């Protein structure tokens, strides 16, 4: 006699869990309990019947909405509260790429539809990666709303090769760029202060742009980050730092302190608030920032024998973290993450090669054992 698959519990019921065809917010499958007081075989039949219903879409609510309309509504409900750049990414993918599906009904979507959209972006690996990301996010939401078959979703995902895209490797400043930062003759004091703060404090561009004279404690030689400016239609809009960890206070290195101190004191004396402004004194706009960055690059290039190409504000931030990682164990990974306004996991994931490079495993083992 075959052994029963399920055993009766103390309450007299046979129990199991079955996937209900939906997903949790973190992407994991959501399960519901099933039970039978009759027998293990009866519970197994209930489980098979439920799984078959999921597979055959009988658990799906009837709907006549198109995939595109659902994607737009999904974006409005779940993504319109994100940062401006994130919202623009979703808008771009949905309106420029997924809109190709036109009036295709949500319940009719299959892997051929995704492949057609991907084919239109042939040769653009990053774009294809984003298309896949958004497409599956939309379908997963539709499954959770019981508007799309979980079985079909799983089949599409399992039979669609993941786009092989790897973001360009981040780089620190070159030796020539580091040298040029401090040798350059900048047209305006604000240009010099901006690049010095990027170099010496590892600020994000939007954090640096938003700084005011009140963010500096010159006696303590620190600068505090409590806001950022994102550019919306070219104009600055205040927001919180990128993450909760972004609220932080940073030491100002002695190498740049006197320059920062002089500039901040001059602004205070003249009654000004923001460090970086338009000619009218308003917080810097996108066009204002771009002109400043062009002047900074030109000033650095004028004193550098090597060409300075592809230099961005984020490269300064990457350089800041890289140089701090070389100071381990004088500084901990936790403290580096705090200074960056990010998580320890990010430091470990992105800069592990630097940390590993500093390691002396054989020496550490030798010292540990032969104490």
Is the model's pLDDT at 370 over the cut of 70? no
Cβ neighbors of 132 (< 8 A, separation 6 or more) are: 114, 118, 160, 162, 163
Interior/surface letters 130-149, b for 16+ CB within 10 angstroms, e for the rest? bbbebbbbbbbbbbbebbbb
Instruction: Read off the tokens for 198.
Output: 């990027």
DSSP H stretches of helix in the chain: 40-55, 67-78, 84-96, 111-120, 125-144, 150-158, 175-183, 189-201, 205-209, 254-269, 286-301, 313-325, 333-340, 344-358, 361-369
Residues 142 and 220 reside in one and the same domain: no
133-185 confidence digits (pLDDT tens) = 999 999 999 988 888 888 889 889 989 988 887 777 778 899 999 999 999 99
The answer to the question of residue 369 being in a domain is no
pLDDT at 371: 54
Residues 224 and 79 reside in one and the same domain: no
Is the model's pLDDT at 1 over the cut of 60? no
pLDDT class of 47 with cuts at 50, 70, 90: confident
Q: Which domain holds residue 21?
A: 14-55
Residues 224 and 340 reside in one and the same domain: yes
Instruction: Read off the tokens for 130.
Output: 């984003």
pLDDT at 173: 92
Residues 184 and 333 reside in one and the same domain: yes
Residues 43 and 88 reside in one and the same domain: no
Residues 151 and 187 reside in one and the same domain: no
Is the model's pLDDT at 2 over the cut of 60? no
8 Å CB contact between 176 and 200: no
Is the model's pLDDT at 287 over the cut of 90? yes
Rounded mean pLDDT, 258-272? 96
178-233 confidence digits (pLDDT tens) = 999 999 999 999 999 999 999 999 999 999 999 999 999 999 999 999 999 999 88
Rounded mean pLDDT, 4-16? 85
Q: What is the mean pLDDT of the chain?
A: 88
pLDDT class of 299 with cuts at 50, 70, 90: very high
CATH number where 350 lies: 1.10.443.10
Is the model's pLDDT at 58 over the cut of 60? no
pLDDT at 53: 73
Minimum mean pLDDT among 167-176, 255-264, 283-292: which range? Answer: 167-176
Residues 240 and 343 reside in one and the same domain: yes
Q: Collapsing DSSP states into helix, strand and coil, what is residue 65?
A: coil
Residues 234 and 316 reside in one and the same domain: yes
Q: What is the DSSP annotation of 7-29?
A: -B-TTS-EEEEEEEEEE-TTSPE
pLDDT class of 367 with cuts at 50, 70, 90: low
8 Å CB contact between 114 and 132: yes
Q: Residue 61: which region, alpha, beta or left (left: phi > 0; alpha: psi -120 to 50)?
A: beta
Minimum mean pLDDT among 50-59, 216-225, 239-248, 291-300: which range? Answer: 50-59
pLDDT class of 368 with cuts at 50, 70, 90: low
pLDDT at 172: 85
The answer to the question of residue 165 being in a domain is no
313-337 confidence digits (pLDDT tens) = 999 999 999 899 888 888 888 999 9
- Bridge partner residues of 33 (DSSP): 17
Q: State how far the Cα of 206 lies from the Cα of 230, in Å rounded to an integer.
A: 6
Q: Collapsing DSSP states into helix, strand and coil, what is residue 320?
A: helix
How many domains, the chain? 3
Residues 217 and 290 reside in one and the same domain: yes
Rounded mean pLDDT, 75-103? 91
Higher model confidence: residue 144 or residue 306? 306
Q: Collapsing DSSP states into helix, strand and coil, what is residue 332?
A: coil
pLDDT at 357: 66
Place of tokens 């399920």: 6
CATH number where 145 lies: 1.10.150.130
Residues 51 and 82 reside in one and the same domain: no
The answer to the question of residue 112 being in a domain is yes
Residues 73 and 47 reside in one and the same domain: no
Residues 270 and 327 reside in one and the same domain: yes
- Complete edge-to-edge strand list for the sheet that includes strand 248-251: 216-217, 222-225, 248-251
Rounded mean pLDDT, 20-26? 69
Is the model's pLDDT at 93 over the cut of 90? yes
């Amino acid at each position: 006699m075959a052994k029963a698959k399920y055993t009766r519990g103390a309450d007299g019921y046979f129990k199991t869990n079955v996937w209900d065809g939906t997903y949790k917010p973190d992407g994991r499958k959501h399960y519901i309990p099933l039970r039978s007081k009759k027998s293990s075989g009866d519970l197994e039949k209930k489980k098979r019947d439920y799984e078959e219903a999921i597979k055959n879409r009988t658990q799906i609510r009837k709907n006549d909405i198109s995939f595109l309309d659902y994607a737009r509504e999904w974006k409005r409900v779940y993504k319109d509260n994100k940062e401006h750049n994130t919202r623009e990414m979703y808008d771009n993918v949905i309106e420029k790429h997924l809109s190709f599906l036109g009036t295709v009904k949500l319940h009719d979507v299959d892997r051929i539809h995704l492949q057609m959209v991907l084919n239109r972006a042939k040769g653009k690996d990053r774009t294809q990666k984003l298309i896949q990301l958004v497409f599956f996010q939309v379908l997963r939401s539709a499954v959770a709303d019981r508007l799309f078959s979980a079985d079909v979703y799983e089949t599409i995902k399992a039979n669609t090769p993941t786009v092989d895209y790897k973001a360009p490797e981040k780089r620190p400043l070159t030796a020539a760029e580091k040298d040029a930062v401090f040798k350059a003759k900048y047209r305006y004091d604000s240009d010099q202060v901006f690049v010095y703060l990027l170099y010496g404090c590892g600020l994000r561009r939007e954090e640096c742009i938003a700084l005011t004279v009140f963010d500096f404690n010159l006696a303590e030689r620190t600068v505090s980050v409590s806001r950022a400016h994102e550019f919306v239609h070219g104009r600055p809009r205040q927001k919180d730092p990128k993450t909760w960890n972004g609220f932080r206070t940073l030491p100002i290195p002695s190498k740049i302190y006197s320059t920062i101190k002089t500039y901040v004191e001059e602004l205070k004396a003249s009654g000004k608030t923001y460090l970086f402004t338009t000619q009218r004194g308003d917080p810097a706009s996108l066009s204002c920032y771009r002109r400043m960055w062009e002047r900074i690059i030109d000033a650095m290039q004028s004193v550098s024998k090597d060409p300075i190409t592809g230099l961005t504000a984020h490269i300064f931030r990457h350089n800041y973290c890289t140089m701090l990682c070389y100071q381990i164990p004088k500084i901990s990974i936790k403290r580096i993450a705090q200074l960056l306004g990010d998580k320890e996991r990010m430091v470990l994931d992105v800069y592990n090669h630097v940390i590993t490079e500093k390691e002396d495993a054989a020496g550490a083992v030798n010292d540990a054992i032969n104490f």
